[in-house]
Amino acid sequence: MITATVQPTTTWIDACPAHLPGVEDGVAVLLPDGRQAALFRTRDHRLYAVDNIDPYTGAAVISRGIVGDRAGEPTIASPMLKHVFSLSTGRSLDDEHTCLTTWPVRRRGATVQIAVRTEEGTP
Amino acid sequence: MEEIVVVGNGMVGHRLVEALRDRDTDRHLHVTLVGEEPRTAYDRVALSSYFDGADAHDLSLGDLSGPTVDVHVDERVTAIDRDARTVTTARGRGLRYDRLVLATGSTPFVPPVPGHDLPGCHVYRTIEDLDAIIASARDARTGVVVGGGLLGLEAANALRLLGLETHVVELAPHLMPAQIDQGAAALLRALVTDLGVHVHTGTASTAIEASPQGRAAGLVLDGGDRLDTDLVVFSVGVRPRDDLARAAGLRIGERGGVVIDDTCTTDDPRIHAIGEVAEHRGTVYGLIAPGNAMAEVVADRLLGGEAVFTGADTSTRLKLLGVDVASFGDAHGRTPGALDVVVNDAAGGRYAKLVVSDDAGTLLGGVLVGDASAYSALRPLVGSPLPGDPLSLITPEGGADLGADSLPDHAQICSCNAVTKGALSRAIADGDHDVPALKARTGAGTSCGSCVPMLKRILARSGIEQSKALCEHFTRSRAELVEIVRSTGVSTFSALIASHGTGHGCDVCKPAVASILASLGNGHILEGEQATLQDTNDRYLANLQRNGTYSVVPRIPGGEITPERLIVIGEVARDFGLYTKITGGQRIDLFGARLEQLPAVWARLVEAGFESGHAYGKALRTVKSCVGTTWCRYGVQDSVGLAIRLEERYRGLRSPHKLKSAVSGCARECAEARGKDFGVIATDQGWNLYVGGNGGFTPRHAELLAGDLDESTLIRYIDRFLMFYVRTADRLQRTAPWIESLEGGLDHLRDVVIDDSLGIAAELEEAMERHVASYTDEWAAVLADPEKLSRFVSFANAPHAPDPTIDFTTVRDQPVPAGASVDLGMPARRPQEGPR
Ligand code: SRM
Ligand SMILES: Cc1cc2nc3c(=O)[nH]c(=O)nc-3n(C[C@H](O)[C@H](O)[C@H](O)COP(=O)(O)OP(=O)(O)OC[C@H]3O[C@@H](n4cnc5c(N)ncnc54)[C@H](O)[C@@H]3O)c2cc1C
Ligand code: SF4
Ligand code: FES
């Protein structure tokens, strides 16, 4: 998926080879600043990246959740306590006060890339 | 603050104080609850379950002590001083009151026959009484219950469960004279006699004879006959404990009981009486429902309300010695002109009588024995026009479909908690759309539970579709999807959702369909698309822990393990730095493996001949065993051998919920088989098969499905039972609620499994054979497949870098997750659903 607007301060980093993740599957990606992204591919072949850390338990497990949809909105269910988040906004669909960070994702040739804002840390 | 003193911490006193505590939110009242028993209130109605595994703790109704409530146990009130407005206790305490409530209940009546007070003579009312009966029964062979009423029959069952040859002696011409008529009693007698209880009716007991040691040894009957017995339980009725009130000069009814008016007030306006000690309009009620209703009235009045008590329904439904008995309304047909409509099916073990008005237009009451399933629908109809031909209501086909529609709003659906149809309809209109929500809002169905079927029916008739839909993506129930998959041969989730669902799926339907596909034999659970359907535990074939690591539980069938293998487990744990604990399921759990370490851990285990084992997954977990004849001096069969055989047969079977089993080598039941979904207990003839047990949120004992089976019949029955469960249960429905949900319950299950009433037994067995034949070690299969193995990496861009958030600290010499454990509240429940 090509994201429309990307801030000039943003750096694209290589996340994984383009065949990953599989359809309706996820993988974890270690970001240069030590943070972790959970990268998903939905059935319509869109890519999404959200924070890999489950905000309720602090465990880095979101990438191992189940991809699905709720009323058409693409979702990821945390495997820990089954909280469901929107993949496009990162917002929890069960609890409006909780939100996962999201990152722009794109495919470049044989690679999937994630855009990290440089002020977030050194690439 | 107003001082309220409540005397008697029994069921009704408890109910009152609980209601006050919950409703007096502004703290106008200070309540002192004084009870003579050595413990706080407990569920006397369920007292007999004490013989069936419940202990005092299970029966307890909870301690109500709090900022505005003082509770004193083991303290009897000895006097009331109405002028000074104080009560005095046996411990010398004086308590001042503004309002006093007497909830002293009643005491069993012991007929003054000679010898009634010998050691070995008992009553049946308190936990202490039961402890004394158990102690007496230890050296006894025979027991007699004097009194064939409701409680007498409960006591008889208790003696039976204690292993005594049991007699019941009743003065009236038939059993349960207060509740049921002669016809019903004849059937009840036959059913009770079948259970081995000797029934003597129309017989008075004239004396208890003593043994040379001075204990009860025989009961003399009025004809001069004598029953040899080591133990006697008197259950001939109760007397209100109105002694305090008498001494204080309060008005007492003709046959005892403190007289109260419709506000539950005695002739002293500051003193109320509730429960079994009270006499209202000439009646002393011996049931809990009227007592609770009185408690509610007094609670309301103490808080300034205007509630009144105008009498109560004395309908009862009981399971006595396993026999369903119910009576409601004018069961004896005392209304002038009343007509009886009777179905007496002795061969079928059913008796039903309806009492109707002279024009056969209005239902007045009735009696049901053997099959009381129509009770919850019939009772609320009392006083209302009959919805159809009376006979059709009590013939087996007719009873089931009684309309909730025909009930007026004031009809009481839950008599224990006095909830009307109107109140339920309002709750439903306010959005309580299932039974748990109705229970929470109205209290209906929370006591004896006999009204629950009616709650379901009212929900169904309220226009609210009781949705069986799995989730927003499938309108079908799990059982329906099983049938669709079976009949269409669909073998992938994508094809199923395309043809029978909408959208893309979610974490509810995906694992459910994955489980269906797996139970119907669709290859490895991580094959192709199936991998993305699995819950994380199935997805990584291990059990997710709170810090994102996994636990591995090597399969140890039957709990039997060689020293060499034990050493291997120890070595694996040591080499990978895993926390080790013996589980409650007779195996050893290794905790703290990172995702990328799992294959290496399995490789070591597989090499030593282990399988990793399911401690996760909706699948067979363990078959526990006791040592049985292998070592035990009491064992009568090889329980270890059978447990291993069962575990190896059913391992890997995907099911609606997890499955657990156990095998005990004799009736001492050291393997706790009756706490399992299917439990096997050895007899000297073979094996008894029990089904539908579980621990967890709502512990249930498994019930006997079939007895004295040889091993191959046993296995055939288990095959059928499990496959039938796999096909027809709801998602996350364990075997006990599943059996309950079957129309006809355990009896129906027995028909299907043993008598093959649906003609599917052969097919179920074949399905199980296919499962057994196609079983492979799922963990070894992952190790052998690079594609599957490729998932076991920490990061797509750094496959072996350990997750930096995982950190351990040492507790009791072992590694555990660093950092405080996150408070997960009660075991994971998601916001919108019940226990998983
Ligand atoms: C490890 C163990 C505790 C222990 O250290 O002893 C355990 C641990 C868990 N139990 Fe258990 N249970 C363990 C024995 C039991 C037992 C005892 C038994 O099996 O004899 C029970 C009561 C019996 C029963 O299941 O009826 C038990 C009743 C539960 C329940 C309640 C089930 C219910 O029907 O209400 C849950 C929740 C569930 O499954 O939905 C549960 C769920 C869990 C889960 C899977 C919760 C979770 O999702 O994280 C725990 C994770 C296990 C792990 O990570 O390895 N565990 N759990 C025991 C593993 C036994 C084994 O070797 O397989
Ligand atoms: C085995 C059994 C089975 C039953 N089954 C059913 C059933 O299926 N359905 C049904 O509706 N009912 C049933 N009942 C009846 C039901 O239990 C009673 O109706 C109910 O318990 C009455 O409650 P209560 O609070 O009035 O009396 P109780 O529960 O008897 O409580 C009275 C309490 O007051 C205490 N007390 C008495 N005097 C004093 C004093 N001076 N000072 C301090 N404390 C005092 C007593 O020790 C006792 O704890 C059953 C009863 C028994 C024994
Ligand atoms: S159940 Fe029986 S055979 Fe098994 S260990 Fe206990 S006493 Fe021995
Ligand atoms: S009638 Fe007993 S709980 Fe409703």
Kindly report, residue by residue over B683-734, the tens digit of the pLDDT: 999 999 999 999 886 788 999 999 999 999 999 999 999 999 999 998 888 9
Q: Which chain A residue shows the shortest CA-CA distance from B798?
A: A30
The pLDDT of residue B396 is 57
The pLDDT of residue B117 is 93
The correct CATH number of A20-103 out of 1.10.357.10, 3.40.605.10, 3.50.50.60, 2.102.10.10 is: 2.102.10.10
Q: Which chain A residue shows the shortest CA-CA distance from B539?
A: A64
Interface test with A, best of B795, B829, B836 (most A CBs within 10 A): B795
Residue B213: exposure state from Cβ atoms within 10 A (0-12, 13-18, ≥19): exposed
Angle at B171 between CA B165 and CA B174, to 5 degrees: 80
Taking residues B800-816, report their average pLDDT: 92
CA of B639, closest atom in ligand 3 = 4
How far, in Å, CA of B148 to CA of B719, rounded?
43
Is B271 in contact with B102 (CB distance < 8 Å)?
A: yes
Would the CB of B697 count as within 6 Å of ligand 1? yes
Would the CB of B669 count as within 6 Å of ligand 3? yes
Helix (H) or strand (E) holding B739: helix B735-741
Q: Which residue has the higher pLDDT, B582 or B476?
A: B582
Going from the C-alpha of B677 to that of each of A70, B60, B688, the distances in angstroms are 34, 26, 14
Residue B480: exposure state from Cβ atoms within 10 A (0-12, 13-18, ≥19): middle
Distance B275 CA to ligand 2 centre (A): 8
Q: Which residue has the higher pLDDT, A117 or B27?
A: B27
Best residue among B637, B640, B669, B681 to mutate for probing ligand 3's pocket (most ligand atoms within 8 Å of CB) is: B669
Is B95 in contact with B89 (CB distance < 8 Å)?
A: yes
Calculate the average pLDDT of chain B: 89
Nearest to B831 among A65, A71, A94 (CB): A94
Q: Do B510 and A94 touch (CB under 8 A)?
A: no
The sheet with strand A102-103 has its strands ordered as A25-30, A36-41, A47-51, A102-103
Confidence of residue B400 (pLDDT cuts 50, 70, 90): very low
How far apart are the CA of B518 and the nearest CA of chain A, in angstroms?
18
Would the CB of B626 count as within 6 Å of ligand 3? yes
B529 in reach of chain A (CB within 8 A)? yes
Is A20 in contact with A86 (CB distance < 8 Å)?
A: no
CA of B105, closest atom in ligand 2 = 27
Q: Do B797 and A14 touch (CB under 8 A)?
A: yes
% chain B with pLDDT above 90: 59
Taking residues B232-248, report their average pLDDT: 95
Distance B665 CA to ligand 3 centre (A): 5
Chain A partners of B492 at a C-beta cutoff of 8 Å?
Answer: none
Whether residue B834 has pLDDT greater than 50: no
Whether residue B405 has pLDDT greater than 80: no
The pLDDT of residue B465 is 62
The pLDDT of residue B406 is 65
Q: B720: Cβ–Cβ under 8 A, 6 or more apart, which residues? A: B752, B753, B761, B764, B765, B768
How far, in Å, CA of B336 to CA of B698, rounded?
47
Q: Which residue has the higher pLDDT, B14 or B1?
A: B14
Confidence of residue B403 (pLDDT cuts 50, 70, 90): low
Confidence of residue A68 (pLDDT cuts 50, 70, 90): very high
Confidence of residue B764 (pLDDT cuts 50, 70, 90): very high
Residue nearest to atom 4 of ligand 2 (CA): B45
The pLDDT of residue B823 is 46
How far, in Å, CA of B324 to CA of B39, rounded?
32
pLDDT tens digits for range B212-236? 999 999 999 988 889 999 999 999 9
Q: Which amino acid is at B80?
A: I
Range in A23-37, B391-405, B728-742 with the lowest mean pLDDT: B391-405
Confidence of residue B375 (pLDDT cuts 50, 70, 90): confident
The pLDDT of residue B53 is 78
How far, in Å, CA of B291 to CA of B277, rounded?
9
How far, in Å, CA of A64 to CA of A54, rounded?
11
Would the CB of B47 count as within 6 Å of ligand 2? yes
How far, in Å, CA of B599 to CA of B232, rounded?
66
% chain A with pLDDT above 90: 63
The pLDDT of residue B614 is 80
- Tallying the residues shown for chain A, one arrives at 123
How far, in Å, CA of B476 to CA of B480, rounded?
6
Calculate the average pLDDT of chain A: 86
Residue nearest to atom 30 of ligand 2 (CA): B105
Sequence-ordered alpha helix ranges (H) in B556-710: 563-576, 598-607, 639-650
Nearest to A43 among B504, B797, B803 (CB): B504
Residue A53: exposure state from Cβ atoms within 10 A (0-12, 13-18, ≥19): buried
Q: Which residue has the higher pLDDT, B382 or A87?
A: A87
How far, in Å, CA of B505 to CA of B474, rounded?
8
The pLDDT of residue B820 is 60
Q: Do A24 and B797 touch (CB under 8 A)?
A: no
Helix (H) or strand (E) holding B773: helix B761-774
pTM: 0.56
B536 in reach of chain A (CB within 8 A)? yes
pLDDT tens digits for range B558-612? 999 999 999 999 999 999 999 999 999 999 999 999 999 999 999 999 999 998 8
Q: B304: Cβ–Cβ under 8 A, 6 or more apart, which residues? A: none
Q: How many CA atoms lie within 13 A of B441 on its CB side?
A: 18
Going by C-alpha positions, the residue among B309, B241, B276 that lies closest to residue B12 is B276
The pLDDT of residue B826 is 37
How far, in Å, CA of B328 to CA of B366, rounded?
5
Chain B partners of A98 at a C-beta cutoff of 8 Å?
Answer: none
Is B675 in contact with B657 (CB distance < 8 Å)?
A: no
Taking residues B778-785, report their average pLDDT: 91
SS3 B103: coil
Ligand nearest to the CA of B664: 3
The pLDDT of residue B822 is 47
Residue where the block lists tokens 């497990």: A61
How far, in Å, CA of B365 to CA of B340, rounded?
9
Whether residue B639 has pLDDT greater than 70: yes
Q: Is A67 left (phi over 0), alpha (psi -120 to 50) or beta?
A: beta
How far, in Å, CA of B209 to CA of B227, rounded?
10
Whether residue B450 has pLDDT greater than 90: no
Nearest to A72 among B503, B505, B546 (CB): B503
Helix B598-607 and helix B563-576, axial crossing angle in degrees, nearest 10? 160
pLDDT tens digits for range B305-362? 999 998 887 787 776 777 788 888 888 888 888 888 888 777 778 888 888 888 878 8
Q: How many CA atoms lie within 13 A of B652 on its CB side?
A: 24
Distance A77 CA to ligand 2 centre (A): 50
Q: Which chain A residue shows the shortest CA-CA distance from B827?
A: A81
B796 in reach of chain A (CB within 8 A)? yes
pLDDT tens digits for range B643-661? 999 999 999 999 999 999 9
Question: First-to-last CA distance in chain B?
Answer: 45
Supply the DSSP symbol for B370: S
Helix (H) or strand (E) holding B484: helix B478-488
Chain B partners of A27 at a C-beta cutoff of 8 Å?
Answer: 795-796
pLDDT tens digits for range B685-696? 999 999 999 988
Chain A partners of B804 at a C-beta cutoff of 8 Å?
Answer: 30, 34
Taking residues B278-291, report their average pLDDT: 92
- Tallying the residues shown for chain B, one arrives at 836
